[in-house]
Amino acid sequence: MKNYKLLFLILVIFSAQSIFSQNNYRIKYELTYQIDSTDANNIQYDIMYLDISQKNESFFRPESVFLKDSILQSNNPNALFSITKPKFRYSIVKNSDGEKINSFYDYTAYKFKLSEDVNLNWKLDNKEKKKILGYNARKATVSYGGRNYIAWYTNEISIQDGPYKFKGLPGLILEIHDDQNHYSFKAFSIQKLADYNSYLITSDFKTISKEKFADFKKKIKQKPSLILYNPGIRIPKEGMDKYDRNHRERNKYKNNPIELN
Amino acid sequence: MKHFFIAFFIFCFTISSFSQSIINGKLTTKKGNPVSRSSITITEVNTETILSYDISDSKGNFSISLKSNNEKIQLNIRSMGFKTIVKIIDNKTQKLNFVLEEEVTELKEVVVKPKGITQKGDTINYSVKAFSKQEDISISDVLKNMPGIEVLNDGKILYQGKPINKYYIEGLDLLEGKYNLANNNLPHKKVYKVQILENHQPIKVLDSLVYSDQAAINIKLKNSYTVTGQIELGSGFSPLLWDVNATPMLFSKKRQMLNSYQANNIGDDVASQLKTLTIEDLLEKFEHNDSKQDWLSIQQLSTPNFSEKRWLDNNIHLITLNYLQKLKNDYELRLNVSYLNDYQKQNGYTNTKFFTANETISLFEKKYNKLYTNTLETNLTLQKNTDNKYLKNSLKFQGFWDSEHGAIQQNEENINQNLSNRYFKLNNDFKTLFSLGNQIATLKSYVGLYKTPQSLTVQPGQFNDLLNNGNTYNEVIQNIELNTFYTNNSLGFTKGWKAFSFSPKVGFQFEVQKLESDIQTSENNLNGEFDNNLDWTRSKFYVLLQNQYKKKKWRIELNTPIFFHNYQLKDKPLHKNQDLNRLTFEPRASITYDLTSYWRLSTSAQLSNQFGTINQVYYNYILQNYRKIQRIDAPLPETQNLHYSASINYRNPIESLFFSAIYSHSKTDNNVLYENKILENGATELEAIQKDNERFSHNLMSRISKYFSDLKSNFTIGVNYSLQDFQQILNSEITDIATQTWRLNGKIDTDITNWLNTEIESTLQFSNNEIQKQNNQTITQQMHKFNVNFYPKKNQYLGLKTEFVKNNLFSQNTENFFADIVYRYTWKKKKIDFEFQFNNIFNNEEYKTININNYSYVESNFTLRPRQFLFKVRFSI
Of A54, A229, A244, the CB nearest to B658: A229
Q: How does DSSP assign B615-647, residue by residue?
A: GG-EEEEEEEETTEEEEE-SPPPEEEEEEEEEE
CB contacts of A171 in chain B (<8 Å) are 39, 78
Residues of B (521-580) whose Cβ lies below 8 Å from A: 548, 552-553
Average pLDDT over residues B14-43: 80
Name the DSSP letter for residue B118. P
Select the residue from B211, B593, B645, B797 to test the A interface by mutation, using most A Cβ atoms within 10 A. Answer: B211
The neighbour count for residue B716, using CB atoms within 10 Å, is 19
Shared-domain flag, residues B145 and B244? yes
Mean pLDDT within B57-82: 87
Asked if residue B158 and residue B73 are part of one domain, the reply reads no
Looking at B217, B233, B264, the residue that finishes a domain is B264
**CB contact residues (below 8 A), chain B span 199-238, against chain A:** 206, 209-214
Contact B50 A124 (CB under 8 A): yes
- CA dist A70 and A190 (Å) reads 20
- The answer to the question of residue B44 being in a domain is yes
Do β-strands B166-169 and B216-221 pair in parallel, antiparallel, or remain unpaired? parallel
End position of a domain, from candidates B100, B135, B166:
B100
Model confidence at B717: pLDDT above 50: yes
Query: Is the residue at B178 inside a domain?
Result: yes
Q: What is the mean pLDDT of residues A158-177?
A: 91
The full DSSP string for chain A is: -HHHHHHHHHHHHH-TTSTT---EEEEEEEEEEESSTT-TT-EEEEEEEEEE-TTS-EEEEEHHHHHHHHHHTSS-GGGGGG----S--EEEEEEEETTEEEEEEEETTEEEEEEE------EEEEEEEEEETTEEEEEEEEEETTEEEEEEEETTS-----STT---SSSEEEEEEETT-SEEEEEEEEEEESS------GGGSEE--HHHHHHHHHHHHH-GGGGG--TTS---HHHHHHHHHHHHHHHHH----S---
pLDDT score recorded for residue A54: 78
Give the residue from chain A lying closest to B116, CA to CA: A45
Query: How many beta-carbon contacts under 8 Å exist across A and B?
Result: 229
Residue, of B588 and B127, whose pLDDT is higher: B588
Confidence of residue B877 (pLDDT cuts 50, 70, 90): low
Fold observed for domain A23-209: outer membrane lipoprotein receptor (LolB), chain A (2.50.20)
> Average per-residue pLDDT in chain B?
83
Instruction: Return d(Cα B562, Cα B268) in angstroms, integer.
Output: 45
- Based on the domain organization, do B33 and B95 belong to the same domain? yes
Instruction: Indicate whether B95 and B142 sit together in one domain.
Output: no
The verdict on residue B191 lying in a domain is yes
Residue scoring higher pLDDT (B355 or B601): B601
Regarding whether B90 and B124 lie in a shared domain, the answer is no
Report residue B516's pLDDT band, with 50, 70 and 90 as the boundaries: very high
Q: Shortest Cα distance from B162 to chain A (angstroms)?
A: 6
Closest to A158 (Cβ–Cβ): which among B39, B117, B757?
A: B39
Q: Which of A191, A213, A223 is most worth mutating to test chain B (most B CB atoms within 10 A of its CB)?
A: A223
Of B695, B673, B675, the closest CA to residue B687 belongs to B675
DSSP B680-708: TTS-EEEEEEEEEEEEEEEEEEEEEEEEE
Rounded to the nearest angstrom, the minimum Cα separation between A123 and chain B is 7
Does A160 sit within 8 Å of B55, measured CB to CB? yes
In A, which residues are within 8 Å of B714 by CB distance? 223
Residue B708 confidence (pLDDT): 86
Share of chain B above pLDDT 70, in %: 88
The answer to the question of residue B82 being in a domain is yes
Inter-CA distances, A50 with A28, A94, A122, B118, Å? 6, 10, 21, 20
Contacts of A95 in chain B (CB under 8 A): 37
Distance from CA of B823 to the nearest CA of A (A): 16
Residue-wise pLDDT tens digits, B165-182: 778 888 787 766 667 767
Question: Where do the H-state alpha helices sit in B313-353?
Answer: none
Provide ipTM, 2 decimals: 0.79
For residue range B787-838, list pLDDT tens digits in order: 998 888 878 889 999 999 888 876 678 888 999 999 988 887 777 889 899 9
* B789–A contact, CB cutoff 8 A: yes
- Classify residue B301 as exposed, middle or buried by CB count within 10 Å of its CB (0-12, 13-18, 19+): buried
Q: Specify whether B153 is located in the same domain as B214.
A: yes
Q: Which residues contact A247 (CB under 8 A, 6 or more apart)?
A: A224, A225
pLDDT value at residue A202: 77
Kindly state whether residues B234 and B140 are assigned to the same domain. yes
Least confident of A7-16, A102-111, B535-544: A7-16
Nearest neighbour of B552 by CB, restricted to A21, A45, A201: A201
Q: Do B754 and A248 touch (CB under 8 A)?
A: yes
Clarify whether residues B137 and B236 are in a common domain. yes
Number of domains in chain B: 2
Give pLDDT tens digits for B565-575: 999 999 999 89
Whether residue B481 lies inside any domain: the answer is: no
- Note whether B112 contacts A188, CB cutoff 8 Å: yes
pLDDT of residue A189: 87
> B504: buried, middle or exposed (CB in 10 Å: 19+, 13-18, 0-12)?
middle
Per-residue pLDDT, averaged over A168-173, amounts to 91
* Best residue of A17, A49, A155, A202 to probe chain B, by most B CBs closer than 10 Å: A155
Residue B507 falls within a domain, yes or no? Answer: no
Strand, coil or helix: B1: coil
Say whether B213 and A64 touch across the interface (CB within 8 A): yes
- Which residues are CB-contacts of B872 (< 8 A; sequence separation ≥ 6)? B232, B233, B234, B243, B833, B834, B835, B836, B837
Nearest to A114 by CA among A207, A202, A220, A224: A207
CA distances from B709 to A111, A252, B183, B752, B851 (A): 21, 19, 38, 11, 41
B160 touches chain A (CB under 8 A): yes
Residue B769: CB partners within 8 Å, gap ≥ 6?
B355, B737, B738, B739, B776, B852, B857
Looking at the structure, tell me whether residues B237 and B129 fall in a common domain: yes
B108 touches chain A (CB under 8 A): yes
Residue A19 above 50 pLDDT?
Answer: no
Whether B203 maps to a domain, the answer reads yes
Do B22 and B134 lie in one domain? The reply is no
**pLDDT for B446:** 94
pLDDT: which is higher, B754 or B275: B754
For residues B211 and B208, give the distance between their C-alpha atoms in angstroms, rounded to a whole number.
7
Last residue of a domain, one of B264, B293, B313: B264
**B528 occurs within a structural domain:** no
**B410-451 pLDDT per residue, tens:** 878 899 999 999 999 999 999 998 877 777 788 999 999 999
How confident is the model at residue B302, as a pLDDT?
Answer: 83
Let me know whether B181 and B81 are in one domain. no
CATH number of the domain encompassing residue B212: 2.170.130.10
Average pLDDT over residues A224-252: 72
pLDDT at residue A170 is higher than 80: yes
Cα-flanking dihedrals φ and ψ of residue B663, to 5°? -120, 135
The residues in B 23-82 lying below 8 A from A, measured between CB atoms, are: 29, 31, 33, 36-41, 48-50, 53, 55, 57-58, 76, 78-81
* Containing structural domain, residue B93: 5-100
Residue B859: burial class (beta carbons within 10 Å; 0-12, 13-18, 19+)? buried
A215 closest CB neighbour out of B107, B212, B654? B654
- pLDDT digit string (tens) for A41-73? 667 777 888 998 877 788 998 877 776 666 555
- Check residue B251 and give its pLDDT: 82
Residue B1 has pLDDT above 50, yes or no: no
Q: Quick one: B201 and B140 in the same domain?
A: yes
**Which residue in B834, B842, B845 sits closest to B798, CA to CA?**
B834
Q: Residue B78 and residue A79: Cβ atoms within 8 Å?
A: no
| Domain at B32, CATH number | 2.60.40.10
